[in-house]
Amino acid sequence: MSWSGSSGPNDFKSAGLLNDDPDPTNPPSPPPDFIRRQLALGYKRGQLPTFVMPGLGIEKLRICHGSCRKAHGLGKDGLASLDFLIREPVLKEEHEKRPQMTFLTGDQIYADEVASALIPVLTNIGNELVGKLETIPLVGSRSCSSTTADLPAFSRTKLIRNTAKFTSDAAQNHLISFGEFCATYLMGLNIKNWPDELMQLKEDLKVDDLGFLDSLEPTASLSDLLTGLPTEAKEKAKELKTRKNEYLEEVQNLIRFRDTVPFVTRAFANTVVYMIFDDHEITDDWYLTKNWRDQVLTAPLGVTILRN
């Protein structure tokens, strides 16, 4: 298999996709920041990826199933275990034990619950993918618009609920633009799409490192919960503490997810995969009721997000 692009003709070998990066036998120097940027797509050095067809009888059919994959979810990414289920039979040459098909039946991404550290990255990658700053309708007509660059982390709840007419309770970092949706899928499937600032995230991140969050606008949801406290200063201080604690927890989970992405990439290269989307890939209350449908389909921003 070969392909061509701006860099000229290419194939798996010349593109460096059949070797680990970095090479575990020759780690980079100095070694403390050893971060795997890629696993060889084959299970042996220089080997192309492979797949197997289902056996002739039902007793020989081996299927894997997965769903609900959130980048900052608790624990390690379960989808990475698919790599182990393929790798062992390949190395032992017991190909009849390999999974022949993988079915992912929804929520490959969470568009309505996105880690705050991902939002600026997804916006930037999304704009690069689309080739321009996408405009998004803000109020009743498409003549009033903005871009996702104006909507940083923690700032989207009010827009999603009041303008898009969604009813999600987890919308402070909701995906909006087509580019952001595309970027989220691409980052979930290939570590090469992760920029340096996310590859350098460490689990020893401290609250003192999060001063950049001080300047972000308060979220509508948290502000509403804090209504009635004695002073505005106390409200803001409490919200800021909550925001920083959320961010730290998300980063810990995001690092664990990041470090398993190369295994998912290799697994996908070595089995047939079927996908279908579900609610979280759009929003968690997607078409929940007739009233929801009628509200969202008459809101330009709601229609924009559904289309994306």
Q: Does residue 302 lie in a domain region?
A: yes
Cα torsion angle, 186, 62, 46, 8, sign: negative
Q: Does residue 272 lie in a domain region?
A: yes
- Mean pLDDT lowest for which of 106-120, 215-229, 278-292? 215-229
Both tokens of 83, joined, read 């790599």
Q: Does residue 25 lie in a domain region?
A: no
pLDDT range class, residue 89, cuts 50, 70, 90: very high
Domain membership of residue 203 as a residue range: 36-307
Rounded to the nearest integer, the mean pLDDT of the chain is 86
CB 122 within 8 A of CB 293: no
Q: Does residue 12 lie in a domain region?
A: no
pLDDT range class, residue 243, cuts 50, 70, 90: confident
Q: What's the mean pLDDT in 85-104?
A: 96
Burial tier of 236 (Cβ tally within 10 Å: 0-12, 13-18, 19+): middle
pLDDT at 53: 93
pLDDT range class, residue 221, cuts 50, 70, 90: very low
Most confident listed range (142-146, 174-178, 247-251) = 174-178
DSSP 174: -
Both tokens of 132, joined, read 């321009």
Residue with the bigger pLDDT between 243 and 265: it is 265
pLDDT > 50? residue 32: no
Q: Does residue 191 lie in a domain region?
A: yes
Q: What's the mean pLDDT in 68-96?
A: 94
pLDDT > 50? residue 231: yes
Q: Does residue 82 lie in a domain region?
A: yes
Residue with the bigger pLDDT between 114 and 27: it is 114
Radius of gyration of the chain from Cα atoms?
Answer: 22
Rounded-to-integer distance, Cα 178 and Cα 144, Å: 18
Q: Does residue 5 lie in a domain region?
A: no
Nearest to 195 by CA among 37, 15, 5, 12: 37
CB 285 within 8 A of CB 292: yes
Tokens 């691409």 correspond to what residue?
Answer: 186
Q: What is the number of structural domains in the chain? A: 1
pLDDT > 50? residue 301: yes
pLDDT range class, residue 162, cuts 50, 70, 90: very high
pLDDT at 247: 87
Rounded-to-integer distance, Cα 82 and Cα 35, Å: 21
Where does the chain have alpha helices with state H?
Answer: 81-92, 119-130, 157-158, 178-189, 196-199, 220-225, 232-269, 290-296, 300-307
pLDDT at 175: 96
Query: Model's pTM, two decimal places?
Result: 0.86
CB 116 within 8 A of CB 122: no
Rounded-to-integer distance, Cα 122 and Cα 124, Å: 5
pLDDT range class, residue 233, cuts 50, 70, 90: low
Q: What's the mean pLDDT in 58-84?
A: 94
| Cβ contacts of 226-231, under 8 Å, gap ≥ 24 | none
* pLDDT tens digits, one per residue of 169-184: 889 999 999 999 999 9
Q: Does residue 30 lie in a domain region?
A: no
